[in-house]
Amino acid sequence: MKMKDARAVVTGGASGLGHAVASHVVASGGKVVLLDVQEQPGLAAAATLGAQTGFIKCDVTAEQEVNAAMQSAHERLGNINLLVNCAGVIGAARMLGRSGPVAGEFFTRVVHINLIGTFLCDKAAAALMQHNAPSADGERGLLIHTSSVAAYEGQIGQAAYAATKAAVAGMTLPIARELAMFGIRCVAVAPGIFRTPMVAGMPPEVQDSLARQIPFPPRLGKPEEFAQLVGAIFENPMLNGTTIRLDGAIRMQAK
């Protein structure tokens, strides 16, 4: 598959990594629909990217909402052959905080958004992708998960976040194996510290401290670099069932 032929759905596409992926798809000649719970930023992002881009408000934790949004995106695009799951929350909280043990609802919310939301989008997209006309290799589509280096080196306060990102990586292979009969691949990307809106809002000294932890290049990752990897995965059919670290060789410390 070539990026110019991409018909992509990107969750969390209003900002950060998701917006960078959508921009890369459009710049490569493809079409994209952004899914995001933030309506005004989503509409603004779609307008900025131009006529090849649409937006649908969607809460990835609501199954019927996801199914309806994916069907609507399919109708707008003609078909879907790429899903990039970027919707997610950090969800940092110590298990035993100053005010006592963290509420179970906090952990549940992070799981619902990061993990269950990814699965709901995967199955809704795959249900449509299975009917695509196959490529010469028999390929019909690609599902991409956004994991994190926290899946491997979660820091203090990241129990919920690290658990979901490890789970997202962990379900990549079984999904790839199951969907192989349809010619649908599944790959996860585990980014390190990237200059997302959350990080960009930190004080400059904090950003500099984070950048110094990265062996090479000694800087924060650029969302465009994440998007470039998504493009490379889309065009290389042998990338399947695996998780790729994109982290400048960083290994996170305890805190």
Q: Over 90: is that where the pLDDT of 131 sits?
A: yes
> Collapsing DSSP states into helix, strand and coil, what is residue 49?
helix
* CA-based nearest residue to 224, from 195, 187, 192: 195
The catalytic residue positions are 161
Specify if 215 maps to a domain: no
Specify if 10 maps to a domain: yes
Output the pLDDT for position 217. 94
Report the CATH number at residue 145: 3.40.50.720
CA distance 61 to 79: 23
pLDDT band for 209, please (50, 70, 90 cuts). Answer: confident
Specify if 219 maps to a domain: no
Number of domains in the chain: 1
pLDDT band for 201, please (50, 70, 90 cuts). Answer: confident
What percent of the chain has pLDDT above 90? 86
Question: Number of helices and strands (H, E) in the chain?
Answer: 11, 9
Output the pLDDT for position 207. 78
What percent of the chain has pLDDT above 70? 100
Specify if 255 maps to a domain: no
Interval 152-163 mean pLDDT: 93
Specify if 205 maps to a domain: no
Specify if 253 maps to a domain: no
Model confidence over 33-63: pLDDT tens digits?
999 999 999 999 999 999 999 999 999 999 9
* CA-based nearest residue to 32, from 86, 88, 74: 74
Interval 106-128 mean pLDDT: 97
Domain that holds residue 21: 3-192+226-245
Residue 32 φ then ψ, to 5°:
-150, 145
Specify if 28 maps to a domain: yes
Specify if 37 maps to a domain: yes
pTM of the model: 0.95
